[in-house]
């Protein structure tokens, strides 16, 4: 049999899509979610932290000798917890919408339960040792290694770059604000790096998908023969 292959037909693509074989990068989705989290912390993180601190501070007595008003403290804690949960719920909702939108942009809308069904072929050692599948797994492992290395290098670089500012902030009263801003900035930088890695990963996943979908001439002829047979109407006796 010749090793020459041709691009996949529309029927083959639709069948693969129905089975859940879609080029999609989880790294790109995770990067977008982390980017939304970093932007949210940079924009509204200080507001929620200040609101929480002021609510808790208002429930404390002005002097240590004064007795605590337990009812007031409980009310303040409940109000602070409500603020935190509302803010966290809003951020989590935005992250979920961003993840859903990223997946839809990559693969479009798809509603099928077939990928969730159990298949013995997934447990086959021969299938797992397939050349293309093994290459994809090896490439994925290499990509994860590069991603972890980039994130670790970025974190170390930030720590070295801001060591003087960290020592200065440790003796000031605005240590929490400095740490929050540093965390948000680090998350934003990590998200930017992962966004680039995720986009490259998506291009690689699409390339692997196109290679896996290619057909041999024999497969194309068999598909045309089956299509022609199904198109012929049956005679009534």
CA distances from 89 to 34, 40, 86 (A): 15, 12, 5
- Tens-digit pLDDT profile for residues 31-82: 888 888 888 888 877 777 676 666 666 655 555 544 556 676 677 777 777 8
Listed in sequence order, the DSSP H helices in the chain are 10-18, 26-58, 70-107, 125-128, 131-161, 163-170, 175-213, 217-231
169 has pLDDT over 70: no
129 has pLDDT over 50: no
Residue from 195, 112, 99 nearest 151 by CA = 195
- Tens-digit pLDDT profile for residues 86-106: 878 888 898 889 888 888 888
Q: At what angle do helices 175-213 and 26-58 cross, to 10 degrees?
A: 160
Domain edges within the chain: 10-110+132-226
pTM: 0.63
């Amino acid at each position: 049999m010749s090793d020459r292959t041709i691009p996949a037909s529309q029927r083959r693509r639709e069948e693969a899509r129905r089975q859940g074989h879609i080029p999609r990068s989880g790294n790109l989705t995770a990067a977008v979610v982390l980017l939304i989290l970093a932007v949210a912390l940079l924009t509204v993180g200080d507001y929620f932290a200040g609101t929480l601190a002021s609510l808790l501070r208002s429930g404390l007595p002005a002097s240590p000798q004064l007795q605590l008003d337990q009812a007031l403290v409980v009310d303040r804690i409940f109000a602070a917890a409500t603020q935190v949960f509302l803010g966290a719920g809003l951020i989590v909702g935005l992250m979920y919408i961003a993840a859903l939108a990223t997946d839809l942009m990559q693969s479009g809308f798809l509603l099928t339960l077939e990928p969730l069904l159990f298949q013995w072929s997934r447990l086959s050692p021969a299938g797992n040792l397939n050349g293309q599948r093994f290459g994809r797994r090896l490439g994925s492992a290499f990509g994860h290694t590069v991603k972890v290395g980039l994130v670790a290098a970025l974190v170390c670089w930030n720590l070295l770059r801001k060591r003087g500012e960290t020592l200065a902030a440790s003796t000031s009263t605005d240590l929490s604000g400095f740490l929050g801003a540093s965390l948000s900035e680090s998350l934003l930088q990590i998200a930017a790096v992962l966004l680039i890695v995720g986009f490259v990963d998506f291009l690689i996943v699409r390339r692997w998908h196109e290679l896996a979908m290619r057909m041999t001439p024999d497969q194309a002829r068999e598909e045309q023969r089956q299509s022609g047979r199904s198109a012929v109407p049956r005679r009534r006796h």
